[in-house]
Amino acid sequence: MSWSTRELADRAGTTIKTIRHYHSIDLLEEPERAMNGYKLYGTRHLVRLLQIRRLRNLGMTLAQIAAMDGPGDGFADTVRALDAELAAAIERQQVIRAELADLLRHHASADVPSGFESVAAHLTDADRAMIMVSSQLFDDELIQDIRHMSTTHQELDDEFNALPSDADDRTVRDLARRLVPVVRAIHEEYPSARDPATFALGRRREAMTTMAQAATDLYNPAQIAVLRQTHHLIAEEQDG
């Protein structure tokens, strides 16, 4: 007994279009034809279609399935490659699930970079944005140092965060002076903070100009003035 293309498609749980596509890429053997030109499909065609569907359900591409039909240990090689891909995908998904769990546990928002969920509550919107930008520009070593700094060095953070944009020069100078020992301690504990450009993933100059622009956009003028004066005072100490 033989079947038409429609009958084969129904039995294989596929479509006529799919069968024709498999023919066009030599994945399914062309059947014999009747005197009237109609295709005559048999059991081997049905088995082949079921085999293809099984392999597709396992995640194999049509190109991989076609490659298995050649000489050599094609099937085993394809299965090993697919297994490795799945293992990597599962690992990525587990990492994502862990990050999602941290976001939920700490009630963090979408602008909290990975690894900073536990300290998100102590960060301002500007801080989180700066860290997000930093994570794009610098390597993991520097980002991990920033995370540790966020948990161990919070002196004067509240005062800095509350500084109004129209703070007078005296207030700015006073806060900068009191920040000097804090920043000095950070530099001693985290050498990466002294020269972050060294840890840039791309061009150092581009990374630093991007960070400077981000800081200007995210912090108010008085806060920027404090940061500049703090680093100026530290530089004077080092020169002296």
DSSP one-letter code for 68: T
Q: What is the mean pLDDT of the chain?
A: 89
Comparison of pLDDT for 108 and 39, the residue scoring more: 39
Length, in residues, of the chain: 240
Least confident of 55-59, 180-184, 202-206, 235-239: 235-239
Write the single-letter amino acid at 167: A
What is the average per-residue pLDDT within 63-67?
88
Q: What architecture is the 5-65 domain classified under in CATH?
A: Orthogonal Bundle (1.10)
Tokens of 92: 């990525």
Q: Report yes or no: 195 and 186 within 8 Å, Cβ to Cβ.
A: no
pLDDT at 114 over 90: no
- Residue 70 has a pLDDT of 56
Tokens of 70: 């050649």
Q: Report yes or no: 132 and 147 within 8 Å, Cβ to Cβ.
A: no
CB neighbours of 124 closer than 8 A, spacing ≥ 6? 161
pTM listed for this prediction: 0.59
Question: Distance between CA atoms of 240 and 238, rounded to whole angstroms?
Answer: 5
Q: Report yes or no: 226 and 179 within 8 Å, Cβ to Cβ.
A: yes
What are the extents of the domains in the chain? 5-65, 70-105, 114-239
